[in-house]
């Protein structure tokens, strides 16, 4: 297996990407890395880490996509950027997949135009894995790629999500819910109402409308929605989690009695923290394009990159998910 990594995408790159790659390579064998970015910046980081493993090769690409760049224009303005160089290499068969923490919009535009969409898929989508109280994950898609969609897109997202969930868990027939403002039939705007009707007739395990809280309760395995709604839900959940963490810290630090209580339950609290750790679920593929592109969040640390490589990239590469989607939508 060969993984192509964009060393220049993200707030903490190239340091985070390079150090993450080093950690992953030191932790596991069975794959090689093509690290795409500014050689003059990458080599000193590798030298400081005492790393010169031949499994990692640098592909020089000094230009990079900035988060402020216009996603539509940047492909023409910076065609030689590291992100797009990764896509060219992926299309040429030089690697099995690519990983980037760069601009989501640029990744969507670039992957759609350079790699092309899978025949039959109208809009690529990016699922987010959200921890639920069952100790599992609920997939939310779309998570931000497509702010406005049509009723038929909801059906395609449900099918794509069902295949992806099966890849992640082995579960054969996940429950699909339509994210809505209430669980009763007939809720929502006209697009959502039409989507409900189409999902009822689709070949997926559709269980009806669900609310945001049902995602966290684990009542369904997949929630489908437009990218605007999905992104708002994700950010609300992340913000709430940070607020609760801060409030709990304040309670436990309030006095000696509370500190003693924390010591007594520290193991359980650490288990909960690990379950909510975004590094554990980091790395979402852009599904629907002719190539495996994995997006990790823009503020990814080195531990995040290592986790994406070791826990997501290897799994998805072995799964042949692009081929599975191609077969499904050719029917």
pLDDT of residue 141: 94
pLDDT of residue 331: 74
Burial of 234 (0-12, 13-18, 19+ CB in 10 A): middle
Q: For 76, list phi and psi in degrees, rounded to 5.
A: -80, -40
Tokens standing for residue 2: 């060969």
| Strand order across the 137-141 sheet | 128-131, 137-141, 222-224, 175-179, 205-210
The architecture CATH gives domain 1-121+288-331: 3-Layer(aba) Sandwich (3.40)
C-alpha gyration radius of the chain:
21
Fold matches, 1-121+288-331 and 123-246+274-279: yes
The residue among 230, 216, 222, 227 whose CA lies nearest residue 165 is 222
pLDDT of residue 272: 67
pLDDT of residue 275: 63
pLDDT of residue 240: 83
> Exposure string (b/e) for 210-221, b if CB count within 10 Å is 16 or more?
bbbebbeebbbb
Q: Measuring CA to CA, how many Å separate 11 from each of 210, 259, 273? A: 35, 35, 24
pLDDT of residue 243: 86
* Digit-coded pLDDT (tens) for 255-291: 888 888 878 887 877 776 666 655 556 788 999 999 9
Average confidence (pLDDT) per 10 residues, the chain, 331 residues = 94 94 96 97 96 95 91 92 97 96 92 95 92 89 90 96 92 94 90 96 95 93 94 86 83 83 78 62 88 91 94 91 92 74
Report whether the peptide linkage leading into residue 177 is cis, meaning its omega lies within 30 degrees of zero. Answer: no
Residues 6+ apart with CB under 8 A from 255: none
Tokens standing for residue 72: 């539509």
Please give the Cα distance from 246 to 270 (Å, whole number).
15
Go through the chain and tell me how many residues it has: 331
pLDDT of residue 145: 85
CATH of domain 123-246+274-279: 3.40.718.10
Q: Where are the domains of the chain?
A: 1-121+288-331, 123-246+274-279, 247-271
Q: Which residues pair with 80 in a beta bridge?
A: none
pLDDT of residue 211: 94
pLDDT of residue 84: 97
């Amino acid at each position: 297996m060969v993984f192509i990594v964009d060393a220049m995408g993200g707030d903490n790159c190239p340091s985070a990407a390079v150090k993450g790659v080093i950690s992953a390579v030191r932790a596991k064998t069975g794959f090689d890395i093509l690290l795409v970015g500014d050689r003059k910046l990458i080599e000193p980081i590798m030298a400081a880490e005492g790393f010169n493993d031949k499994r990692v090769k640098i592909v020089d690409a000094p230009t990079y996509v900035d988060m402020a760049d216009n996603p539509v224009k940047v492909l023409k303005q910076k065609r030689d950027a590291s992100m797009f160089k990764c896509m060219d290499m992926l299309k040429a068969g030089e690697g099995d997949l690519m990983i980037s923490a760069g601009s989501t919009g640029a990744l969507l535009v670039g992957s759609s135009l350079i790699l092309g969409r899978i025949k039959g898929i109208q809009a690529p989508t990016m699922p987010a894995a959200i921890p639920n109280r069952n100790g599992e994950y609920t997939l939310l898609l779309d998570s931000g790629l497509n702010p406005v969609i049509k009723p038929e897109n909801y059906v395609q997202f449900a099918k794509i999500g069902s295949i992806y969930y099966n890849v992640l868990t082995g579960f054969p027939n996940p429950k699909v819910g339509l994210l809505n403002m209430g669980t009763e039939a007939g809720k929502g705007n006209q697009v959502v109402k039409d989507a409900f009707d189409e999902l009822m007739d689709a070949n997926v395990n559709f269980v009806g409308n669900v609310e945001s809280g049902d995602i966290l309760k684990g009542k369904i395995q997949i929630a489908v929605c437009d990218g605007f709604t999905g992104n708002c839900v994700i950010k609300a959940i992340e913000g709430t989690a940070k607020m609760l963490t801060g409030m709990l810290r304040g309670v436990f630090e309030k006095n000696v009695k509370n500190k003693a209580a924390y010591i007594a339950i520290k193991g359980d609290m650490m288990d909960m923290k690990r379950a909510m750790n975004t590094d554990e679920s980091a790395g979402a593929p852009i599904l629907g394009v002719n190539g495996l592109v994995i997006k990790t969040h823009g503020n990814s640390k080195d531990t995040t990159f290592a986790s994406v490589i070791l826990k997501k990239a290897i799994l998805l590469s072995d799964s042949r998910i692009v081929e599975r989607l191609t077969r499904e939508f050719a029917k």
